[in-house]
Copies of this chain bind each other. A is one copy, B any other.
Amino acid sequence: MNPYTLSRPVCIIGLGLIGGSLLRDLAGRNHPVFGYNHSTSGARRAAKQGYDVADDLTTVLTRAEAEQALIVIAVPFGAVASVLDQIAQHAPTTGITDVVSVKSHVYELIKQRDMQHRYVGGHPMAGTAQSGWDNSQQGLFAGAAWAVTYDYATEVDKVGPEWTALFSDVVRLTAMVKAEAMPVRVDGHDEAVARVSHLPHVLAESLAVVGDRGGILAQSLAAGSFKDATRVAGTRAELVRQMCETNAPAVVKALDEILVLLHAARDSLAAPEPSIAELASAGYSARTRLEARSGARAESVSPVKISSRPVLRLSPGGHGWVSQLRQAESMGGRIEVF
């Protein structure tokens, strides 16, 4: 089978920035895809643009069951439980994935409903400060990491062929939209995104407030460093709350780490001989390592985009494949399935 083609249609529940962009990408590649949007007007606008979209959840889920579509849950976390309940009722045997940015709480909801055997979690590391269907766009996921969880394969003695087929299809889904599937377990994912996604949001919000307090002079003087650093503060407050509050323990841990660094910097700058030597040097080294690992190639002048993530090709369900997933996870690698 073509490693870049799913074996089933895709049904997207929730057509905001992520769900909408996914729908556009799949439709653009002529893969069978249909979706549901909570907002009647949003659903109508999408339908008017020629997409197969409706605003009645029962109908959409019933169709997903009939077509054995892969259901992608792309609603805010607060709505996930109720969508899962609807799926249990109207699409009791389909495969399920999601794009929610915190994975442990979703997995709890899945376990409460005993759906682990039909669920593979996902999280595309892509987005803009904008949200909603009208901001969704083709190509949003190109080159982005797309976390794919595999906890279930580590929790049971041997996963069945249905789950491995589902896992494969979720990986193929990410490949179809040119994202890079990174296998992770739920806890490792949540700890990592607290550091590299949720903490940056908290800092951006705080910096925006401090800059704003400087009044119009400070804002008028603000240049690239400030604008870049506060960009994600333009994200709707509800979305930031959802990310940070559902991942609170990991975000608190990351905050505690950065608070230690900031207090140390503050104290050494307040000393009779002000110094920020230690932090400036550590930060520069950290950033340089980061660029060497991920940034440099992506910013290459070459028109051919080369991924800096190591790739591991594996056959889901094959001998030792779960060890291969762990290995890929430990080196921040991406996978392809065959």
Contacts and interface: CB of A to CB of B under 8 A. Distances in A.
A235 to B, nearest CB: 7
A220 to B, nearest CB: 3
A241 B210 contact: no
Contacts of A222: 125, 196-197, 290, 294
Given A202-B276, A265-B206, A216 B257 contact: no
Contacts of A255: 262, 265-266, 269
Contacts of A330: 216-217
Interface in A171-211: 182, 184, 188-189, 191-193, 195-197, 199-211
A221 B283 contact: no
Contact of A209 (B144, B244, B283, B295): B283
A202 B265 CA distance: 8
Contact of A248 (B189, B204, B274): B274
A37 interface: no
Nearest to A295: B227
Contacts of A189: 221
Contact of A230 (B147, B212, B234, B290): B290
B280 A237 contact: yes
A233 B284 contact: yes
Contacts of A236: 284
A275 B205 contact: no
Contacts of A147: 221
Contacts of A159: none
Nearest to A264: B206
Nearest to A334: B220
Interface residues of A, number: 103
Contacts of A227: 295
Contacts of A219: 196, 289-290, 293-294, 332
Given A203-B207, A206-B261, A290-B211, A226 B196 contact: yes
A236 to B, nearest CB: 7
A1 interface: no
Nearest to A288: B234
A312 interface: no
A262 B238 CA distance: 18
A318 interface: no
A116 B309 CA distance: 56
Interface in A248-266: 248, 251-252, 254-259, 261-263, 265-266
A287 B213 CA distance: 11
A293 B193 contact: no
Contacts of A291: 234
A210 B254 contact: yes
Nearest to A331: B216
Nearest to A270: B252
Contacts of A76: none
A207 B198 CA distance: 11
B276 A244 contact: yes
